[in-house]
Amino acid sequence: MSNSKILANGVDVYYGSKQALFGISMDIKEKEVTALIGPSGCGKSTFLRCINRMNDLIEICKVSGSIKVDNEEIISEKTDVVSLRSKIGMVFQKPNPFPKSIFDNVAYGPTIHGLVDSKNELEEIVHSSLKKAGLFDEVKDRLNEPGTSLSGGQQQRLCIARAIAVNPEIILMDEPCSALDPIATAIIEELIDELRLNYTIIIVTHSMQQAARVSQKTCFFHLGELIETGETNKIFTNPDNTKTQDYITGRFG
Amino acid sequence: MFFWSLVLIAVGIFSSFIYGRSRINLNSKKQGTKSKSLPTYYAQYVLIWCLFPALIVYFSWAIFQEQIIQNIVISNFEYIEGAVYNEGLLLAEIRNVANNPSFADGKSIEIINAAAHYSSLRQISQISFYTSIIIIMLLGALYASQKLKPEFHAQHTIEKYIQYILIFCSSVAIFTTIGIVFSLIFESLRFFAEVSIFEFLFSTEWYPFIPIREGQTAAEGSFGAVPIFAGTFLVMVVAMCVAAPLGLLTAIYLAEYASQRVRKIVKPLLEILAGIPTIVYGFFAFVSVAPFVKAFGQSIGIDASPTSALAAGMVMGVMIIPFISSLSDDVINSVPQSLREASLGIGANKAETIKKVILPAALPGIVGAFLLAISRAIGETMIVVVAAGTAPNLTGNPFENVTTVTVQIVVALIGDQEFDNPRTLSAFALGLVLFVITLFLNIIALQIVKRYRERYE
């Protein structure tokens, strides 16, 4: 049995006076894929963005409660957000490569964190990250071309390579395939399955098939509350809660 | 004449509208069908046909009447054998006598006759002006009223006419620009007929005085514009040294650090800077900044003149801060939020994100903002007239007097000048140079900004 990597307890989130999350408590295990599912606006992305404090960017957003990563509290004034975010990579809904070369996109993180001492070392990290993201063979001859010139699926894998280049322990994925076609989606899903061996992954998805395919644990959100959480197999075959049952059978959402 | 013709046209507008509306109501009642468009469109249709032909006649009359009358008068003038006439002076004399009979005393009989001819022609012209306006309006209304049938789609036609009117309005600005460019070019050609273009562009001595009397040796003009271009460039560089860092840092603060509340207050405040009349900046530069610059120069052992490139440039820099900050702020804001999130998500801090992601992405737009600010700076007049001086010094020392293109244009046009000597005409040549430079800067800047916008939309 693996250990608890992220432990959330009673997380409330407010946007201004509107409450978006109601007392979310969750236990996420190391080196597993956890899928967050639920209808639009249910708070699953909001919760994801609490884990790396991305909600700080939204002025009116207030987070309370407790989230512990490796037993360290992160919902606190004292948290070092920069090192937290270097430990928790994030992949966004829309591929968002920087308007720089493919190489520079991946090299960005290691450079700003001072992870490398020499050019060779940097090159090594860039190459290995691209390999881990399954992109290296497709782009090895054109590392100096802009990242924005790649196709959507390649861009998304570039963003994954960029995230893993700083050697994070956790990767957050916010609907990483929603802007991609089925083939690119299948490639990313395969990639997620491989990455699971080395990283703890939390993925927000609208596609229940995707959740069923890639995740070991599934959490069902509805109207800002965590309705049910459990083994993916169980949630999709024999959920405890009728709301979960209704959602996965397509009765609402 | 002017007032009564306006009254005439107003009456035409009003009555044609009323007529059109009642006529279509009558016609549709007679046929027992409903008209295809609302009655007001038929009224507008009659109005347009009544008004616009009349307006065309009105304006062509206003433009050509005087010229035609003068030509007739001159061609019928009984010249005295052997006498030499200046046509312009002669016409002025005839007009004076015609407008004010007391001037007739002591004038030759030919002039008095011509003046009488002139007056009678004016009278004929006026009478025929009113009659033709009335006839044109009636003809227009008559033509339009033929079409006032219920099955006529008045609304479609009106919409087409409105489109023509809008096209006409928007072409006014374009044709004015073209006209200005041509007048600049033709006057400049006259200047370059007297002064060689190589002297103008490459010679370093600007001494734009020409002999008024024969044999005036001290006043041999020379028109080397290099010191003027250099002065313009120097003031512009000083201004950009002030405005570029201040404007860009302001923009970064506003776009990335300021809270919504601060932004809402500070941005309009900055834009007020752009609304201050430049002459106010001018005397601020002259009264407050220039003495300070002089004192500062003396304290570090540089002999500064009371008006200097530094004083004018610094104040001009302050003036163009809002251009740079406002445009750069827009550009930085239009960098997609997803790039900020990507950078912050990797664990970059705010400064790194701005330096390595936001600014490189916004760079083309920022360069565009700088170029627009530069073209504004070199076209600026009042600040430099007041605070930079008028001496054409070829110098790189910002504590000295310099002069700029715009200042020299002002100097050339001040005073009682005929537009036939190189001193006055030099204003057009300088204006042409200024126009070409700012035009190119603007085109480049707009291209850069446009290309940048396309990339993110």
CA-based end-to-end distance of chain A = 34
> Residue B270 falls within a domain, yes or no?
yes
Whether residue A218 has pLDDT greater than 50? yes
Q: Residue A27 — left, alpha, or beta (φ > 0 → left; ψ -120 to 50 → alpha)?
A: beta
Q: Are B369 and B284 members of one domain?
A: yes
Confidence of residue A21 (pLDDT cuts 50, 70, 90): very high
| Run of H or E residues at A240 | none
Cα of A245 to nearest chain B Cα, Å: 35
Tokens of A167: 């050697």
CB contact (8 A) between residue A108 and residue B361:
no
A167: which chain B residues are within 8 Å (Cβ-Cβ)? none
Measured between beta carbons, the chain B residues lying within 8 angstroms of A92 are 338, 341-342, 345
Strand partners, A174: A204
pLDDT recorded at residue B106: 73
Mean residue pLDDT across chain A: 90
Q: Is B70 inside any structural domain? A: yes
pLDDT band, residue A189 (cuts 50/70/90): very high
Task: Quote the ipTM score.
Answer: 0.88
Contact B68, B129 (CB under 8 A): no
CA distance B446 to chain A (A): 21
Give the angle A130-A133-A138 at the CA atoms, nearest 5°. Answer: 60
**Which residue in chain A is spatially nearest to B352 when comparing CA positions?**
A112
Q: Choose the mutation target among A98, A126, A202 for the interface with B, i.e. most B CBs under 10 Å.
A: A98
Residues B252 and B371 in one domain: yes
Q: How far is B386 from chain A (nearest CA, A)?
A: 46
**CB-CB contact of A19 with A187 (8 Å):** no
Q: Which residues of A touch B361 (CB under 8 A)?
A: 98-99
Residues of B in contact with A90 (CB under 8 A): 341, 345
SS3 B131: helix
Q: Do B346 and A100 touch (CB under 8 A)?
A: no
- B265 and B148, same structural domain? no
Residue A36 pLDDT: 94
Q: What is the pLDDT of residue B457?
A: 45
Q: What is the mean pLDDT of each run of 10 residues along chain B (457 residues)?
A: 81 89 87 85 90 89 86 78 71 81 76 84 88 91 87 89 93 93 90 85 78 55 84 92 95 91 89 87 89 88 82 92 91 90 90 92 88 89 84 80 86 74 84 90 83 60
Q: State whether B128 and B268 are in the same domain.
A: no
B342 to A92: CB separation less than 8 angstroms, yes or no: yes
SS3 A126: helix
- Looking at the fold, whether B31 and B120 belong to one and the same domain comes out as yes
Q: Tell me, yes or no, whether B136 and B255 share the same domain.
A: no
Q: Using CA atoms, how far apart are residues B112 and B96, in angstroms rounded to an integer? A: 10
What does the pLDDT read at residue A163?
93
Interface of B with A (CB under 8 A): 259-260, 336, 338-349, 352, 356-357, 360-361, 455
Shortest distance between the Cα of A233 and any Cα of chain B, in A, equals: 31
Distance of residue A236 Cα from the nearest chain B Cα, in angstroms:
32
CB-nearest partner of A59 from B259, B345, B346:
B259
Q: Which residues of B touch A89 (CB under 8 A)?
A: 345-346
Whether residue A175 has pLDDT greater than 50: yes
Helix (H, G, I), strand (E, B) or coil at A145: coil
- Chain centre to alpha carbon of residue B5: 30
**Element (DSSP H or E) covering residue A26:** strand A18-29
- The DSSP line for B36-49 is SS-HHHHHHHHHHH
Distances (CA, A) of B125 to A209, B5, B53, B60: 89, 13, 18, 13
Cβ contacts of B336 on chain A, cutoff 8 Å = 96
Asked if residue B449 and residue B368 are part of one domain, the reply reads: yes
DSSP code of residue B151: T
Same domain as B283, residue B407: yes
Residue A95 in this model has a pLDDT that exceeds 60: yes
What is the rounded CA–CA span in Å between residue B129 and residue B61?
Answer: 7
Asked whether residue B211 is domain-assigned, the answer is no
pLDDT at A20: 92
Q: In B, which residues are within 8 Å of A86 by CB distance? A: 346-347
Residue B404, in any domain of the structure: yes
Same domain, B295 and B394: yes
Residue A204 to residue A45: CA distance in whole angstroms: 7
CB contact under 8 A, A85 and B345: yes
Type and span of the H or E element at A98: none
State whether B297 and B417 are in the same domain: yes
Residues B10 and B109 in one domain: yes
Please indicate whether, in this complex, the C-beta atoms of B343 and A86 are within 8 angstroms of each other. no
Q: Could you say which of B152, B168, B195 is where a domain stops? A: B152
Give how far A99 is from chain B: nearest CA, Å.
7
Number of domains in chain B: 2
Q: Give the domains, in start order, of chain A with CATH numbers.
A: 4-248 (3.40.50.300)
CB within 8 Å: A54 and B344: yes
Task: Report CB contact under 8 Å: A112, B346.
Answer: yes
Using CB atoms, which residue from B340, B356, B361 is nearest to A108?
B356
- Choosing from B117, B152, B187, the residue where a domain stops is B152
Which among B347, B356, B455 has the least Cβ separation from residue A113? B347
Would the pLDDT of A102 be above 70?
A: yes
- Read off the CATH number of the domain in which B235 is found: 1.10.3720.10
Read out DSSP for B261-275? HHHHHHHHHHHHHHH
- In sequence order, which residues have a C-beta less than 8 Å from that of residue B276 and are 6 or more positions away? B319
Are B274 and B135 part of one and the same domain? Answer: no
Q: Looking at residue B271, what is its pLDDT?
A: 84
- Domain boundary, last residue among B127, B152, B177: B152
Rounded-to-integer distance, Cα B369 and Cα B357, Å: 19
Chain A positions touching chain B (beta carbons under 8 Å): 52, 54, 57, 59, 82-87, 89-90, 92, 94, 96-100, 108-109, 112-113, 159, 162-163, 166
Name the residue range of residue B246's domain.
Answer: 222-456
